[in-house]
Chains A and B, each alone.
Chain A
Amino acid sequence: MTVNGKTYEHEVEPRLLLVYYLREVLGLTGTNVGCDTTSCGACTVLLNGESVKSCTVLAVQADGADITTIEGLAGPDGKLHPIQEAFREHHALQCGYCTPGMVMAVTSLLRENPHPSEDQVRFGLEGNLCRCTGYHNIVKAVLAAAAAGAGSAPIGAGTAGAVPTGGAVAGGGAR
């Protein structure tokens, strides 16, 4: 499996969920586990460029796939992806727990529909819950990111190892 541009090979139990493969085998803990029941969207990652809830995908189903997590979104020099930048600029997070999943869902949404209406943004994020109810700023951030052309912005560096973690990555907190 390729994760954030880096290829990994592991023998895993069939029942291992993709989210636990990312977090516990690869140590990529930016992807959070929220409800664990396909509801909240905190575990959203990109599978071959499309958003999926990684608590409801087996790691073996993603065998050979190209996965992008929140750690792979910023550039190699740590420059935030325009969606991350917009989340920071518009304060689209409160506790931050839903943020990695929210950002990945937005990445997929804007790749499919680069210039959504406000309604399309809200409908497009129906699979992601923010328990702080900070939706208004999230929607503002998404519209701003769309206006800045985030839908066609490149994703990450292709080398996960080069991506700085911690404070520089919006949504990387709340581990």
Chain B
Amino acid sequence: MIPAAFDYTRAGSAEEAVSLLSQHGDEAKLLAGGHSLLPLMKLRLATPALLVDVGRLGELSYVRDEGDHIAIGALTRHHDLVHSDLLRQQVPILSHTAGLVGDPQVRHRGTIGGSLAHGDPASDLPAVVLALGGTLVARGPRGERTIPATEFFRGFLETALAPDELLTEIRVPKAGGGWSYQKFNRRAFDWAIVGVAAVADGGGRAAVSLVNMGPTPLRATAVEEALAGGASVAEAASHAADGLDPPSDLNASPEYRRHLATVLVRRALEEAGTR
């Protein structure tokens, strides 16, 4: 499969990328690792007139200790998240889950910023950043702004990023307590049929998010509220799919996903409580 024809340019800096985006509007798309965008283009589900390649902006590939949080450059590859000692120590759920994205070849190319900006509800890292209560930094022609992860995912493959904005950094609080990421799929490298990220606060509460249970990654608020109200893990987990309308596809019906969510939330809370 061959993508439709497009023009290609390589941005030499983040500023240049933003300037190219503001010149070309929604005709242009940013290309990082390309492992979400190129498959869409090969299927002709995306036909951008211009690709702005930001894949070589080394200035946006880093994992830094910023005191109360860890700052991750948007162009940091999954492979580098897995092998970052800093991330492994301070935010182990993110490093661990990056190692479950796709397969080794995908992790050599794909980036955390690309994964978040793509906004696929079936992706692993958006749900983890959501459970961590992360913040995203975007740069546009009018400067920089921060967007809480809770306000970033707007719809299926839709985020709060404007067409002329570049996601530059992801900030996540240090999370040394209990955690778990549960990914259920049928083939090794597939997307999760349902996934669950849980980050415990040590006081019986936990932040819980869901993969592939709706048009965006979702916080399991009913589970979080039940835990905060003193419910047992099993009781809290039974609320995993409350009010949700999960998708139907070849792999699973909505009913199957609702059931799977309750099972995986229970496993995630149990593991987060003992880790």
Contact = CB atoms under 8 A, between A and B. Distances in A.
Interface in A21-48: 36-39, 41, 44, 47
Interface string B1-40: 1111111100000000000000000000001001100110
A15 B39 contact: no
Given A58-B8, A58-B34, A124-B104, A37 B39 contact: yes
13 contacts: A15-B2, A50-B108, A52-B105, A52-B108, A57-B109, A58-B31, A58-B38, A60-B8, A61-B53, A108-B108, A126-B103, A127-B103, A127-B189
Contacts of A169: none
Given A58-B34, A126-B189, A108 B104 contact: yes
Given A38-B39, A126-B103, A127-B103, A52 B109 contact: yes
Q: Is the interface of A mostly helix, strand, loop or mixed?
A: mixed
Given A44-B105, A56-B39, A127-B104, A39 B189 contact: yes
Interface residues of B, number: 28
Interface of A: 13-15, 17, 36-39, 41, 44, 47, 50-53, 56-58, 60-61, 105, 108-109, 123-124, 126-128
- Of B3, B42, B102, B104, which is in contact with the most chain A CB atoms at under 10 Å from its CB? B104
A126 B38 contact: no
A39 B188 CA distance: 10
Contacts of A60: 8, 53
B3 A127 contact: no
Interface in B30-62: 31, 34-35, 38-39, 41-42, 51, 53, 55
B106 interface: yes
Given A14-B51, A105-B105, A56 B8 contact: no
Contacts of B42: 36-37
4 closest Cβ contacts across the A-B interface?
A127-B103, A14-B8, A126-B188, A50-B108
A56 B188 contact: no
A124 B105 CA distance: 10
Contact of B3 (A15, A51, A52, A128): A15
A61 B3 CA distance: 15
Contacts of A105: 104-105
A56 B109 contact: yes
A32 B156 CA distance: 34
B29 to A, nearest CB: 12
A17 B106 contact: no
B104 A38 contact: no
Interface string B100-144: 001111101100000000000000000000000000000000000
Nearest to B7: A14
B39 A127 contact: no
A119 to B, nearest CB: 12
B82 to A, nearest CB: 10
